[in-house]
Structure 1
Amino acid sequence: MSMFKAAAIQMRSGIDPQRNAADLEKLVRDAASQGATYIQTPEMTGAIVRDREARNSLFTTEDRDPIVAASARLAAELGIFLHIGSTAILRADGKLANRALLFSPDGKIVTTYDKIHMFDVDLDNGESWRESAAYEPGREAMIADLPFAKLGFAICYDLRFPQLFRAEALAGADVLTVPAAFTRQTGQAHWHVLLRARAIENGAFVVAAAQGGLHEDGRETYGHSLIADPWGRVLAEAAHDEPAVIVAEIDTSLSAAARKKIPNLKNAREFDIAQRPEAALRGAAS
């Protein structure tokens, strides 16, 4: 079985996990009514909260989390694979993880993935982010073997690290997932080109559910949830930042076909980096 219908849900998560869970349920039901059997939500589905004290009071362990409970129930009721792009989960050591969770049609958690690359940046519009101050980075890439696809996991800023996606593709992933909460500035500049590049260079489908719009905590995200095929063609897009559902038919045999036509995964070679003497480098630059 290589064909399935995928959906990406675009949200504008606020600071109340219970309210976000209610919004999630409406959108997931909409996607399932359109025939989607794999449904992905964006990064920080549970809540987007800038304030540290508020985060610490809101977020809890998997067994008590309202998004986890709602997702397990919906996956079982609707008979779908439900991929929570991420939500903040309190770990046993007291630290927070920016964690993706994949639920099977029986409502059980298939696998989880903790975001590896932390968004620690200073943007030229004055925005400054230190994700590592709030979350403990993951250390393992993850692939889930579904009946109709092999999913490779990533979250938002991971998109800028192509080696993660290459490793997952080499391990057999034919659908790469990038749930995100891209800032408006970085999204306008890089969202489309990076997603399409990851699809093309790995011969894989890319499904990227996004947060969009002005959030309660004051941050602004880009939206534009997107599904691309292995040639980088956009199959579906929410061309705005409002809550939405996009759906596309995916045939994973097209990933194998793309990799056969452009066998760059097989053709990659090990190499060394040689540096010319400093004087020669200066001469070349002059």
Structure 2
Amino acid sequence: MAIFKAACVQMRSGRDVAANIAAAETLIREAAGNGALYIQTPEMTNLLERSREALQAKIADEAGDPSLARFRALARELGIHLHIGSLAIRLPDGGVANRGFLIGPDGAIRARYDKIHMFDVDLANGESWRESATYRPGTEAVVADLPDMRMGMAICYDMRFAHLFRAEAKAGAGLITTPAAFTRQTGEAHWHVLTRARAIETGSYLVAAAQGGTHEDGRETYGHSLIIDPWGRVLAEAGTEPGIVIAEIDPAEVEAARGRIPALKNDRAFREPRAPEDALRTAS
């Protein structure tokens, strides 16, 4: 299996879809020009908009989405695997999906993934987020094949649910992905710990393209796009400004890490714990 270059495109998406497409395209071209064959953009590449009404007014279904059409043409032109971390996509019933796409070098959509876990939280600094009020959660884990390894798809808050990545690794993924728009507050506390943990637990490369900085809708995102190897070492990291980071992916390193710590092979099924009162009733 051949070594190849992977790249993260770090963005600061705003409220103008056309401007976001143009910004992404510039950075994707830069990454491809530096030899990257797999290029990932962050969550909500096409639009970051807190207002549900404004978001609904600016998005389209897959067939009519201008960003998806442009990125498919770009992947074909550059001959790359282009992983669009996610787009806001209108569903047939009027709902909205937070949907990632893997686009092949022929411009065809190779895989789709709808974010499963919704970020419904109240943070200590007063920020309150209710993704479930806007987005329809996905229900299916997704893996897809690159030329020399299999990748698993996830988005942002999914990172906190380790069982998703373990399932993908057990399905053959040696590269796991978490394109994100992590808040600055939670990113400062947990971003590096979580990304490295997911890579170590599964013996996988992890590629996480991120949004970074202060956005037009007022939110602050953490940035620090990362590429991490299967031993948990950071191979490439961005700051908070838009740009790209690139690192080499060696599929042999996945087998080496899993050989040293065979956690996936040693994993065992177990019964969920019972509440103490249930255990007492069973014993009596």
**Pairwise TM-score range, normalised by the shorter structure:** over 0.9
Instruction: Provide Cα deviations, 1:89-120, integer angstroms capped at 9, x if missing partner.
Output: 01112110000011100111111100000000
CA distance, structure 2, for counterparts of residue 152 and residue 243 of structure 1: 25
Instruction: Provide Cα deviations, 1:66-95, integer angstroms capped at 9, x if missing partner.
Output: 210110111010000000000100111211
CA distance, structure 2, for counterparts of residue 49 and residue 32 of structure 1: 28
2:50 alignment partner, SS class:
coil
What residue number does 1:203 align with?
203
CA distance, structure 1, for counterparts of residue 275 and residue 73 of structure 2: 61
CA distance, structure 2, for counterparts of residue 172 and residue 215 of structure 1: 37
CA distance, structure 2, for counterparts of residue 120 and residue 211 of structure 1: 19
RMSD after superposition = 1.5
Instruction: Provide Cα deviations, 1:195-225, integer angstroms capped at 9, x if missing partner.
Output: 0000001000000000000000000000000
Correspondence 1:114 to 2:114? yes
CA distance, structure 2, for counterparts of residue 52 and residue 137 of structure 1: 16
Aligned length: 279
Q: Which portions of structure 1, spanning 4 or more consecutive aligned residues, are displaced by more than 3 angstroms?
A: 272-278
Shift of residue 3, structure 1, vs aligned partner: 1.4
Structure 1 residues 94 and 276 mapped into 2: Cα distance closer, same or farther (>3 Å)?
closer
What residue number does 2:23 align with?
23
What residue number does 2:185 align with?
185
Q: Which amino acid aligns with 2:27?
A: L
Instruction: Provide Cα deviations, 1:159-204, integer angstroms capped at 9, x if missing partner.
Output: 0000000000001000000000000000000000100000001000
Shift of residue 18, structure 1, vs aligned partner: 0.6
What residue number does 1:148 align with?
148
What residue number does 1:90 align with?
90
State whether residues 41 and 209 of structure 1, in contact with CA within 8 Å, keep that contact through their aligned partners in structure 2: yes
Structure 1 residues 108 and 124 mapped into 2: Cα distance closer, same or farther (>3 Å)?
same
Q: Which amino acid aligns with 1:63?
A: A
What residue number does 1:12 align with?
12
Identity of aligned pairs, percent? 64
Shift of residue 2, structure 1, vs aligned partner: 3.3
Shift of residue 146, structure 1, vs aligned partner: 1.4
CA distance, structure 2, for counterparts of residue 277 and residue 97 of structure 1: 40
CA distance, structure 2, for counterparts of residue 268 and residue 144 of structure 1: 23
TM-score for the superposition, normalised by structure 1: 0.95
Shift of residue 149, structure 1, vs aligned partner: 1.4
CA distance, structure 2, for counterparts of residue 77 and residue 273 of structure 1: 50
Instruction: Provide Cα deviations, 1:128-163, integer angstroms capped at 9, x if missing partner.
Output: 000000000001100001111101000000000000
CA distance, structure 2, for counterparts of residue 174 and residue 277 of structure 1: 39
Uncovered stretches (5+) of structure 1, i.e. residues with no partner:
279-286
What residue number does 1:99 align with?
99
What residue number does 1:267 align with?
266
Q: Which amino acid aligns with 2:51?
A: D
State whether residues 2 and 149 of structure 1, in contact with CA within 8 Å, keep that contact through their aligned partners in structure 2: no
Q: Where does 1:1-286 land on structure 2 (aligned, <5 Å)? A: 1-238=1-238, 240-272=239-271
2:255 alignment partner, SS class:
helix
1:187 alignment partner, SS class:
helix
CA distance, structure 2, for counterparts of residue 21 and residue 8 of structure 1: 16
Shift of residue 271, structure 1, vs aligned partner: 2.6
Instruction: Provide Cα deviations, 1:48-75, integer angstroms capped at 9, x if missing partner.
Output: 0011110110011111112101101110
1:100 alignment partner, SS class:
strand
TM-score for the superposition, normalised by structure 2: 0.96
CA distance, structure 2, for counterparts of residue 166 and residue 277 of structure 1: 28
CA distance, structure 2, for counterparts of residue 71 and residue 172 of structure 1: 27
Instruction: Provide Cα deviations, 1:22-46, integer angstroms capped at 9, x if missing partner.
Output: 0011000000000000000000000
